[in-house]
Structure 1
Amino acid sequence: MKNYQAPNQFLANKIIMVTGATDGIGKQAAIHYASYGATVILLGRNTRKLEMVYDEIEGLGYPQPAFIPLNLQNTAPEQYQQVAEVIEKEFGRLDGLLHNASDLGLLSPIEHFDEETWFRVMQVNVNATYLLSKYCLPLLKKADKASMVFTSSGVGQQGRAYWGAYSVSKFATEGMMQVLADELEKTTIKVNSINPGATQTKMRANAFPGEDPQTLPTTEAIMPAYLWLMDLEQLESHGQAINARDFLS
């Protein structure tokens, strides 16, 4: 995997949606997908930031993206259906879906965990991911081949004290990925999860405020894994938990 080289323009004419596309890994993934020819649908809660990423992609001369403002914290189920209907009307299908948006919440013992924060983290990291998957699956099935990628975490594979709702939500993310992978085994949709690992992001800085970010890989450095998971001509992985660090050179 370390030697993976994304083919030039291998995402030409592909439609890929990225959630949490305004910052960090989501923004970097969206720009990278566009740089290889994809038409990227940017999904996030901050319209101004969405417009900035949109302008950046256009300014680089990549295919014109689209964006959908959506606050995963308080969006009703029917609004996710409306998102899928808009995509179907404008593009007819989805070739890829990267579930990147996540809420860290707070680090606290479960005994003292704030209940409102717990429910919010579960809403963003689990419920919203489920709803978006549910309503976008028909669009993914319309593609010749498609990839759905869930964002996991090391604390979603091994529980760690004080990581509370975030850790529990990432265990649920892994479970959702595995269930969907089994359900879609005989289809042309590949379903996997990705653990980005410790990376230079705002979320990492909030979780580890005393850590020197210069000791961590940049979001750009881990992009080979994200590109590989959208390489529909080469991708054979299905139902697997992928570690982005395995792709670092």
Structure 2
Amino acid sequence: MISDGSFRLDGKLALVTGASRGIGYSLSKELAGRGAHVIAVARTVGGLEELDDEITAAGGSATLVPLDLTDMPAIDRLGGSIHERWGKLDVMVANAAVLGTISPIGHVEAKVFDKLMAINVSSVWRLIRTTDPLLKLSDSGRAILLSSSVAHTARAYWGPYAASKAAVEVMARTWAEESRQTHLRVNSVNPGATRTAMRAQAMPGEDPETLPTPAEVAAKIALLCDPALDATGKLYDVRAGKFLSYNDPS
């Protein structure tokens, strides 16, 4: 069952990628507001600094990590740094992703495809590998991997992005199965259409005022960080407000 939202994360440590804008930015603020110390990871330093200012002004705390997620060795080192400084990790949110190009799959440039897979898939696997032992040192480790409805629809022109999110979901389900006998709970999230820069890039003619804000979506994703949550290996649909069965993830 999904959390009622009354939980706190005081004394917990949460890592969020793509934290300089959009859902990652808002989710970092949400988790900090619940008492977690947030490790905010993003490439854009300016956005991280703005996030830090907001978190600090609200009485929270954060550690900023400017990092390009195509730098795979740097992701590997991140886990070691967390272990050396804090000894464990309680929450990991793999949020960062790129859209690539919306076009026929045979027209996608190789460099665009390779970058998309590096950020959307390979970096997530590296994050899993480097944070898995840290999350299992927590008494309530929570891993959340951001997905998309296109992972299940095979929508025309969305091939690379859809394939990357399908890969992320399979990694999440596998990780969850391998961790069932531990305190770690791993779930994927379909945030749905959200008022973000990526959505505007994908749907330039859409009225953003018709979409929920990143803060509204982040507040619902944060429910998966509840230390009392038992669900694992599932797909949480933000719009539906519930976990979906993988036999019918629609």
TM-score (norm 1): 0.93
Equivalent residue runs for 1:210-225 within 5 Å: 210-225=205-220
Q: State the identity %.
A: 37
| d(CA) in 2 for partners of 1:71, 1:21 | 12
Q: Deviations over 1:28-83 (max 9, x none)?
A: 00000000101000000112221221111001112x2101111012x03x322211
Match of 1:207 among 198, 202, 208: 202
Q: Secondary structure of the equivalent of 1:210?
A: coil
Give the number of equivalent residue pairs. Answer: 242
Equivalent residue runs for 1:162-201 within 5 Å: 162-201=157-196
1:155 partner letter: V
2:54 partner letter: E
Correspondence for 1:71: 68
Q: Deviations over 1:129-150 (max 9, x none)?
A: 0001101111101111111011
Q: Secondary structure of the equivalent of 1:242?
A: strand
2:92 is aligned with 1:97: yes
Q: Secondary structure of the equivalent of 2:220?
A: helix
| d(CA) in 2 for partners of 1:246, 1:207 | 22
Correspondence for 1:247: 241
| d(CA) in 2 for partners of 1:197, 1:229 | 16
Q: Secondary structure of the equivalent of 2:216?
A: coil
Q: Secondary structure of the equivalent of 1:68?
A: strand
Superposed CA RMSD:
1.5
1:29 partner letter: L
TM-score (norm 2): 0.93
| d(CA) in 1 for partners of 2:110, 2:157 | 14
Structure 2, gaps ≥5 residues long? 243-250
Match of 1:130 among 112, 125, 132: 125
**TM-aligned CA deviation for residue 123 of structure 1:** 0.2
Correspondence for 2:59: 61
2:33 is aligned with 1:35: yes
Q: Secondary structure of the equivalent of 1:21?
A: coil
Q: Which runs of 4+ in 1 moved over 4 A?
A: none
